[in-house]
Amino acid sequence: MHPKRIIAVAAPIGGRSCRVPALLVITELFLPTKGGTAVWFDEAYRRLGGREVHVVTRLVPGSAEHDADHPNTVHRLRLERSRWLRPESLAMYLKLLWASMKLALRHRFDAVHAGRVLPEGLVALLVARLVRRPCVIYAHGEEITTWRQPGKFRVMRWVYRHADRLVANSSFTRDELVKLGVDAARIAIIHPGVDTDRFRPGLPARALRERLGVGDAQRLIVSVGRLSRRKGFDQVVRALPLLLQRGIDVHHAIVGIGEDRDYLQRLAAEQGVADRVHFAGEVGGAELPCWLNAADVFAMPNREIDGDNEGFGMVFLEAAACGVPVVAGRDGGTGSAVIDGETGLRVDGKSLEQVAGALQRLLVDRGFAQEMSRKARLRAERQFDWRHVVVATAGLT
């Protein structure tokens, strides 16, 4: 076995630099791919720093520009499923395995990290065993509760049980892993983080509100995320007529893309609030923090649908860092992201009355909302800034 080699990284905490091992990171999801998981891995491993961190990931549009000045060594592969193969993802597994094995034989890595259990985790486990290195696999929650094909489920459970360490994004996900028979002592809870410099209060937002026709005296609810049913955006749309009946002049801006857009547009028309529901589409870069700053309340009252759950909810942290009070659902792992009654309100996302009641309280009681926002921002800085995630990640091996 190669001797352990440690590299220094620029992630100062309390005036000191933390040190992490050289890593092989296998993850299909990595910026510029959209989504919270891709953001998590890019932000965490770039902050670990150094070309000694090698990332094997998918080739996507914009990769070359993104990777040009990336501090890590990023290897891009064309990862496609083929309907001519059984399983359809076989080519993806083989490409990941071949590229990762070549790197593992060429470099003296201290550990192999996998962004998900399948396909990356299985590949990482094989590579790690062949080169006698520890294997660390991330678990996100929804894969455990939704993957029910018998063969796939058995492989997933086997990989989780044989990894050296597992990273759960929330207490909910840790508990789901334990139900699979994973030894709790091998599970580390590391929450996703947030860039508290990028997401902060006081960013320009007036122009966005004016674009929607929302005046200073009116209230704006903002939702951000993939337009899928479990996010609960439809419940916010249904709550608008109730809020209007209660004398609250409110609009709703939905930021994101997804399969539910047509459904949400029809629902807004059926509820008689089509002129108050605004679809901003896909937003990124500097504009997303501004959308959150435009909000009086951030709302994603998620709920479980056929086992599909919110494993954590990075966007709750982004809203908190911007000083915006949030309404979250109780299902899944949101309890790790939002402390009910302190940094946000968690409700039964299936209950329209609870969703409407929480929105009403935060929209009307501005003193309560402001105190909640202050605590949420403080918690984001103290617990969820990416610097803290880096220290936890460095301690995995």
With respect to residue 361, please indicate whether it lies within any of the assigned structural domains.
yes
15: pLDDT strictly greater than 60: no
Task: Tell me, yes or no, whether 360 and 297 share the same domain.
Answer: yes
With respect to residue 278, please indicate whether it lies within any of the assigned structural domains.
yes
Task: Tell me, yes or no, whether 224 and 163 share the same domain.
Answer: no
With respect to residue 80, please indicate whether it lies within any of the assigned structural domains.
yes
The pLDDT of residue 9: 38
- Say how many domains are in the chain: 2
Task: Tell me, yes or no, whether 121 and 233 share the same domain.
Answer: no
Task: Tell me, yes or no, whether 326 and 222 share the same domain.
Answer: yes
Q: How far apart are CA 27 and CA 33, in angstroms?
A: 11
With respect to residue 388, please indicate whether it lies within any of the assigned structural domains.
no
Alpha helix stretches (DSSP H) within 142-286: 142-146, 150-162, 171-179, 206-212, 233-245, 261-270
The tokens describing 337, both together, are 């992201």
Name the more confident of 21 and 137: 137
With respect to residue 302, please indicate whether it lies within any of the assigned structural domains.
yes
Task: Tell me, yes or no, whether 25 and 170 share the same domain.
Answer: yes
Mean of per-residue pLDDT scores for the chain: 91
With respect to residue 73, please indicate whether it lies within any of the assigned structural domains.
yes
Contacts of 286 (CB under 8 A, 6+ apart): 198
Task: Tell me, yes or no, whether 362 and 220 share the same domain.
Answer: yes
Predicted TM-score (pTM) of this structure: 0.88
Task: Tell me, yes or no, whether 210 and 179 share the same domain.
Answer: no
The pLDDT of residue 16: 41
Task: Tell me, yes or no, whether 235 and 273 share the same domain.
Answer: yes
Of 147, 165, 190, the domain-final residue: 190
Q: How far apart are CA 326 and CA 362, in angstroms?
A: 8
Largest CA distance in the chain: 70
Range of the domain at 66: 6-190
Residue with tokens 């496609």: 80
74: pLDDT strictly greater than 90: yes
The residue-averaged pLDDT of 311-330 equals: 96
Task: Tell me, yes or no, whether 365 and 231 share the same domain.
Answer: yes
Chain Cα centroid distance, residue 21: 24
Task: Tell me, yes or no, whether 13 and 162 share the same domain.
Answer: yes
Task: Tell me, yes or no, whether 287 and 364 share the same domain.
Answer: yes
With respect to residue 371, please indicate whether it lies within any of the assigned structural domains.
yes
The tokens describing 241, both together, are 């007529």
With respect to residue 286, please indicate whether it lies within any of the assigned structural domains.
yes
Least confident of 2-11, 48-57, 72-81, 203-212: 2-11
pLDDT tens for 23-69 read 999 999 999 998 889 999 999 999 987 899 999 999 999 999 999 99
CA distances from 201 to 196, 290, 388 (A): 10, 9, 21
The residues facing 277 across adjacent strands are: 252
Question: Residue 64's domain is classified under what CATH number?
Answer: 3.40.50.2000
7: pLDDT strictly greater than 60: no
Task: Tell me, yes or no, whether 144 and 169 share the same domain.
Answer: yes
